[in-house]
Amino acid sequence: MATVFFSYSHRDQILRDEMEIHLAMLKRQGFIETWHDRRITAGEEFDKAISKNLEEADIILLLVSSDFLASNYCYDIEMQRAMEKHEKG
């Protein structure tokens, strides 16, 4: 089973939710599981949870929008790490 990490701006949460609906059959069939930052539980450290799940992800979906590009966290941290992982194979 592949783990899919959603990198998105919170302003695009509705679009992220729609993307997850599109992937529902793959989830149901056991091909993928998904993770996004709204799954961080109370008391869990935000940065550590994101870093851990980003590192463990098999697939990183960058939901690029103008809000994504304007977000320092999305652009400078999540996208840059995704690109590093891609370059390393």
Q: What share of the chain is helix, strand, coil (3-state, %, to 5)?
A: 60, 15, 25
**How far, CA to CA in Å, does 40 sit from each of 26, 47, 51, 87?**
23, 10, 12, 28
Strand partners for 27? none
Q: The whole model's pTM is what? A: 0.91
Between CA 39 and CA 75 the distance in angstroms is 20
Q: Does domain 2-87 have CATH number 3.20.20.150?
A: no
Tokens 């599109």 belong to: 22
pLDDT per residue, tens digit, the chain (89 aa), is 999 999 999 999 999 999 999 999 999 999 999 999 999 999 999 999 999 999 999 999 999 999 999 999 999 999 999 999 999 98
Residue ranges per structural domain of the chain = 2-87
Q: Which amino acid is at 72?
A: N
φ and ψ at residue 32, rounded to 5 degrees: -140, 160
